[in-house]
Structure 1
Amino acid sequence: MTGEAHGGRAAQIPGAVDREQVSGNVLVSIGALLLGMLLASLDQTIVATALPTIVSELGGLKHLSWVVTAYLLASTAATPLWGKLGDQYGRKRLFQIAVVIFLIGSALCGIAQDMTQLIAFRGVQGLGGGGLIVLSMAMVGDLVPPRDRGRYQGLFGAVFGASSVLGPLLGGVFTEHLSWRWVFYINLPVGAVALVVIASVLRLPRTATKHVIDYLGTFLIAAVATCLVLVASLGGTTWGWGSPQITGLLVLAAVLAVGFVVVERRAAEPVLPLKLFRVRTFSLTAAISLIIGFAMFGAMTYLPTFLQVVQGVSPTWSGVHLLPMVLGLLLASTGSGQIVSRTGRWKVFPIAGTLVTTLGLLLLHHLDQHSSNAVISGTFFVFGFGLGLVMQVLVLIVQNAVSYEDLGVATSGATFFRSIGAAFGVAVFGSVFAGRLGEQLASAFRDVPLPPGVTVESLEADSRGIAALPAELRAQALDAYSTAITDVFLYAVPVALLAFVLAWFLKEDRLRGSVMAPDVSETLASNPVERSSYDEVCRALSVLGTREGRHEVYRKISARAGYDLVPAASWLLLRIKRYGRVEPGALAEHSSVPLGVILDGARQVEERRLAVREGLDLTLTEQGRVVAERLATAREESLAELLGDWWGPERPTDLVQLVRELNEELCGSDREEPHEGQPVARFR
Structure 2
Amino acid sequence: MEHLEMRRKVIIMISIMAAMLFAALNQTIVGTSLPRIIADIGGIEYYSWIFTIFMLASSVTAILVGKLSDIYGRKPFILLGIAVFSVGSLLCGVSHSIIQLILCRGIQGFGGGMIMSTAFTAVGDLFPPRERGKWQGIMSSVFGLASVFGPTLGGYIVDHFHWHWVFWIFLPFGLVAFAAIYFLFPSVDRKKKESIDYAGSIFLTITMVPLLLSFTWAGNQYDWVSPQIIGLFAVAIVAFFLFIFTEKRVSSPVLPLEMFNNRVFTVSNIIGFFLGAGMFGSIMYMPFFIQGVMGTSATKSGFVMMPLTLSMVAGSTISGQIVTKTGKYKKLAMLGLFIMVCGMSSMHFMDTETTNMTAILNMILVGAGLGIAFPIFTLTVQNATEHKYLGVATSSVQLFRQLGGTIGVSIMGSVMNNQLADRFNEKLQKLIAATPNFPKSMTGKIHELANPQVLLNQGAVMKKFSSLPPESVMFLKKVLGILRESLSHALNGVFLTGAVVIGLGLVITFFFLQEIPLRTSNHEKTEAASKSETA
**TM-score category (smaller protein):** 0.7 to 0.9
2:497 to 488, 491, 514: 491
Quick one: distance in 2 between partners of 1:483 and 1:89? 52
Relative to structure 2, which stretch is displaced further, 459-468 or 86-95? 86-95
Change (3 A) 1:482 1:422: same
Aligned counterpart in structure 2 of residue 367 of structure 1, from 347, 350, 354: 350
Alpha-carbon distance change, 50 to 362 in structure 1, aligned in 2, over 3 angstroms: farther
Do 1:110 and 1:181's aligned partners in 2 also have CA atoms closer than 8 Å? Answer: no
SS in 2 for 1:271: coil
Partner of 1:228 in structure 2? 211
- Give the greater-gyration-radius structure (CA): 1
In the alignment, the residues of structure 2 paired with residue 285 and residue 148 of structure 1 have an alpha-carbon distance, to the nearest angstrom, of 19
**Distance change (3 Å), C-alpha of 1:461 and 1:70:** farther
Query: CA-to-partner distance for each residue in 1:272-296, whole Å, 9 max, x for gaps?
Result: 2111212223222111111101112
> Between Structure 1 and Structure 2, how many residues are aligned?
501
Change (3 A) 1:390 1:39: same
**Is residue 416–residue 494 contact of structure 2 (8 Å, CA) maintained in 1?**
yes
Measured in 2, the distance between the counterparts of 1:151 and 1:103 equals 32
Match of 1:240 in 2: 223
Aligned amino acid, residue 70 of structure 1: I
Partners of 1:454 and 1:157 in 2: CA distance: 50
Residue matched to 1:469:
461
**Could you tell me which amino acid in structure 2 is paired with residue 468 of structure 1?**
A
Correspondence for 2:110 among 127, 130, 140: 127
2:60 maps to a residue whose letter is A
**Cα deviation code 1:9-63 (max 9, x no counterpart):** 8x98xxxxxxxxxxx99999876654422121234544556678889997869x8
Residue number in structure 1 paired with 2:403: 420
Check the 8 A contact 1:353/1:390 in 2, yes or no.
Answer: yes
* Contact map agreement 2:215 2:410 (CA 8 A) in 1: yes
Q: 2:201 aligns with which of 218, 235, 238?
A: 218
Alignment-derived partner of residue 511 in structure 1 = 517
Distance in 1 (alpha carbons) for counterparts of 2:330 and 2:324 = 12
AA aligned to 2:147 is G
1:161 aligns with 2:161: no
CA deviation after TM superposition for structure 1 residue 506, in Å: 1.9
Render the CA deviation track for 1:159-194: whole Å, top value 9, x for unaligned: 641441342443135326735997874342322453
Q: 1:310 to 1:46 in 2, by over 3 A?
A: farther
Corresponding residue of 2:384: 401
Tell me: CA distance 1:403–1:170, structure 2 relative to 1, closer, same or farther (3 Å): closer
- The residue that corresponds to 1:174 in the other structure is 154
Residue equivalent to 2:533:
none
Against the structure 1 CA distance between its residues 81 and 412, is the aligned structure 2 distance closer, same or farther, given a 3 Å change threshold?
closer
Seen in structure 2, the aligned counterparts of structure 1 residues 424 and 49 have a Cα distance that, compared at 3 Å, is: farther
Cα 1:137–1:344 change in 2 (3 A) is: closer
Q: Decide which of 522, 525, 528 is 1:537's aligned counterpart.
A: 522
Q: How far does the alpha carbon of each residue in 1:251-290 deviate from its partner, in whole angstroms, 9 at most, with x for none? A: 2221111112112222333232111212223222111111
Deviates more, 1:173-182 or 1:206-215: 173-182
Say which SS state the counterpart of residue 101 (structure 1) adopts. helix
Give how far 1:402 is off. 3.6
2:305 equivalent to 1:322 = yes
1:229/1:427 contact within 8 Å kept: no
CA shift in 2, pair 1:186/1:239, >3 Å = closer
| SS in structure 2 of the partner of residue 299 of structure 1 | helix
C-alpha distance 249-300 of structure 1, shift in aligned 2 (>3 A): same
Structure 2 unmatched runs, 5+: 433-437, 463-476, 531-535
Distance 1:492 1:309, change over 3 A: same
Determine the C-alpha separation between the residues in 1 that align with 2:65 and 2:196: 10
- Aligned match for 1:74, one of 57, 75, 84: 57
Q: CA deviation at 1:421?
A: 1.6
Residue number among 14, 25, 30 corresponding to 1:42 in the alignment: 25
Kindly provide the amino acid, as one letter, of the partner of residue 487 in structure 1: G
2:277–2:406 CA contact under 8 A, matched in 1: yes
Do the aligned partners of residues 193 and 394 (structure 1) sit closer, same or farther apart at CA in structure 2, a change above 3 Å counting? closer
Q: Is the CA contact 1:39–1:187 (under 8 Å) kept in the aligned structure 2?
A: no
Asked whether the equivalents of residues 345 and 499 of structure 2 are also in contact (C-alpha less than 8 Å), the reply is yes
Measured in 2, the distance between the counterparts of 1:463 and 1:53 equals 20
User: Cα gap change, 1:51/1:347 in structure 2, threshold over 3 Å: closer, same or farther?
Assistant: farther
Partner of 1:479: 485
> Aligned partner of 1:209: which letter?
R
Change (3 A) 1:403 1:465: closer
Q: Secondary structure at the match of 1:505?
A: helix
Q: Secondary structure at the match of 1:325?
A: helix
Name which of structure 1's ranges 378-387 and 331-340 shifts more when overlaid on structure 2.
331-340
Matches of residues 128-143 of structure 1 in structure 2 within 5 Å?
128-135=111-118
Structure that is richer in helix per residue: 2
Distance 1:181 1:276 in 2: 50
Higher mean C-alpha deviation, range 271-280 or range 465-474: 465-474
Give the equivalent residue in structure 1 for 2:252: 269
Q: Aligned-pair distance for 1:371?
A: 1.1
Structure-2 residue corresponding to 1:195 = 175
Name the counterpart of 2:467.
none
2:275/2:501 contact within 8 Å kept: no
Q: From 347, 370, 377, give the equivalent of 2:330.
A: 347
1:216-260 C-alpha deviation (Å, 9 max, x unpaired) = 333433433333333333334433333322322222221111112
- The answer to whether the aligner puts 1:501 opposite 2:481 as a matched pair is no
Identical-residue share of aligned pairs (%): 29
C-alpha contact 1:354 1:387 (8 A) present in aligned 2:
yes
Distance 1:357 1:31, change over 3 A: closer
Q: Is the 8 A contact 1:436 1:484 kept in 2?
A: yes
Quick one: distance in 1 between partners of 2:314 and 2:29? 21
The SS at the match of 1:186 is: helix
Q: Is the 8 A contact 1:442 1:456 kept in 2?
A: no
Give the Å deviation of 1:423.
Answer: 2.9
Question: Which is further off, 190-199 or 316-325?
Answer: 190-199
Q: Is the 8 A contact 1:40 1:129 kept in 2?
A: yes
Structure 1 Cα separation of the partners of residues 452 and 97 of structure 2: 17
Deviation at 1:406, TM superposition (A): 4.2
* 8 A contact 1:103–1:191 mirrored in 2: yes
Residues 590-628 of structure 1 deviation map (CA, whole Å, 9 limit, x = unaligned): xxxxxxxxxxxxxxxxxxxxxxxxxxxxxxxxxxxxxxx
What are the within-5 Å matches in structure 2 for residues 278-289 of structure 1? Answer: 278-289=261-272
**Is 2:129–2:519's contact at 8 Å kept on the other side of the alignment?**
no
2:294, 2:355 within 8 Å by CA — same for their partners in 1? no
What is the alpha-carbon distance in structure 2 between the residues aligned to residue 176 and residue 312 of structure 1? 23
| Counterpart in the other structure of 2:276 | 293
Distance 1:154 1:335 in 2: 8
Q: Matches of residues 14-163 of structure 1 in structure 2 within 5 Å?
A: 33-47=16-30, 67-82=50-65, 95=78, 97-106=80-89, 120-135=103-118, 158=138, 160-163=140-143
Task: Tell me if the contact between 1:76 and 1:130 (Cα under 8 Å) persists in the aligned partners.
Answer: yes
Q: Deviations along 1:143-168, whole A, 9 cap, x unmatched?
A: xxx68999999778646414413424
Between the aligned partners of 1:39 and 1:323, the Cα distance in structure 2 is: 20
Matches of 1:200 and 1:469, distance apart in 2: 53
> C-alpha distance in 1, partners of 2:313/2:414?
29
Distance, in Å, in 2 between the alignment partners of 1:171 and 1:240 is 32
Q: Which runs of 5+ in 1 are unaligned?
A: 1-7, 13-23, 515-535, 539-639, 649-684
C-alpha distance in 2 between matches for 1:176 and 1:52: 13
Output the aligned Cα RMSD.
4.6
